[in-house]
Structure 1
């Protein structure tokens, strides 16, 4: 089997961008030429990208653990202690804090598990626009570890939580607190830890983002940053921050 043919799947996954023309190069040369054009973003740069994802995306996975005792519903006897991840709505309604807002329906499994004492995490990923092809393995994703905290009536009013949330999720208007379908309440996901996978390790930071870095990201930084597939369609991670090839980001 020819080397070029054998490595084609690897090439398509290894690059966070469109692979340059490889008709005149071997697969080995293409991979290394592409990888060499990247500098791994700093921890703070990665925090900025994570906060931008939080601001743009609106569906995430809530992961919790089933309690060992379950008297409130008919569950299989062997699921106690097992994790379960379920999609849920969120919105960035308190952007100064980095704590996402969630409309909690206590009847839902994730929130029942939390009420029974489960830890909780919130996992997000960037969905690149359809017109730009990216391997899921090459685009940023991350997980937040924390806890849920109910918002006060004053906070809901001051932060215009309902309007913010419904702007992201128009259908959620039917489930706002006080609706006739289900009991619901506003909660914030208080972020304590952040684990980030920016893409492939030869061109992206993979690891923990300190909470102070997460909280220090400004609105200006979030608005200036660009994720893969945003804006001009350029693929270099430097273009995510609006830089040209001759500009460099400051290292931490």
Structure 2
């Protein structure tokens, strides 16, 4: 995930910050479920962004220059009230299927950290299919990305890897 430090940060105002972040593809439209911990640097940057902007990279199981990858650019919706989290039971089960070790940080009355559920909604998708002379590199229409998730094959971005020769 990549976010940007807020403009009022003492030392790193408007600087980018990137670090691996847990996510799970739990939405049919390609949005991603996030475990949102306000103590994390990404969460703090997102909360201080007027649009709650972030970017998430998804790649093949073995990243390499010749392998496909996708960058999702979008915004994050945080659900601070657990009772108002859409599809709470399904999201929690899906997330734990992807990250069983996260059970210790799930939202609810737990200590020592506060946690919420959040949803990352991409608005732009940039795809790198591998080397440019052999594979597609460029933006993917959002509706194509969102439709890929409805095919039931897991992470919507990874579906694109199988369809890379068919991207306009």
The reply to whether TM is greater than 0.5 is: yes
Deviation for aligned residue 1:251: 8.2
Larger CA Rg, structure 1 vs 2: 1
Question: Which of 104, 110, 121 is the matching residue for 2:55?
Answer: 121
* Alpha-carbon spacing, 1:120–1:209, altered in 2? closer, same or farther (3 Å): same
| Structure 2 equivalent of residue 156 of structure 1 | 88
Computed over aligned residues only, the root mean square deviation of the Cα atoms, in angstroms, reads 2.4
* Alpha-carbon spacing, 1:155–1:79, altered in 2? closer, same or farther (3 Å): same
TM-score normalised to the size of structure 1? 0.56
* Alpha-carbon spacing, 1:186–1:251, altered in 2? closer, same or farther (3 Å): closer
Deviation for aligned residue 1:155: 2.2
| Structure 1 equivalent of residue 14 of structure 2 | 81
Q: Please tell me whether the aligned partners of residues 25 and 31 of structure 2 are also in contact (alpha carbons under 8 angstroms).
A: yes
Deviation for aligned residue 1:127: 2.0
Distance in 1 separating the partners of 2:85 and 2:72: 25
More helix, by proportion = 1
Gaps of at least 5 residues in structure 1 are: 1-61, 71-76, 129-134, 228-236, 242-248
* Alpha-carbon spacing, 1:176–1:218, altered in 2? closer, same or farther (3 Å): closer
Aligned partner of residue 19 in structure 2, secondary structure: strand
Deviation for aligned residue 1:142: 1.2
Matches within 5 A, 1:181-200: 181-200=112-131
TM-score normalised to the size of structure 2? 0.82
Aligned residues: 155
Distance in 2 separating the partners of 1:169 and 1:81: 31
| Structure 1 equivalent of residue 2 of structure 2 | 63
Aligned partner of residue 222 in structure 1, secondary structure: coil
Aligned partner of residue 87 in structure 2, secondary structure: helix
Gaps of at least 5 residues in structure 2 are: none
* Alpha-carbon spacing, 1:154–1:209, altered in 2? closer, same or farther (3 Å): closer
Alpha-carbon deviations, 1:88-143, whole Å to 9, x = none? 1011111x111011000011000101111163111121123xxxxxx710001111
Aligned partner of residue 65 in structure 2, secondary structure: helix
Distance in 1 separating the partners of 2:166 and 2:141: 18
Q: Does 1:203 align with 2:125?
A: no
Q: Does 1:137 align with 2:65?
A: yes
* Alpha-carbon spacing, 1:168–1:212, altered in 2? closer, same or farther (3 Å): same
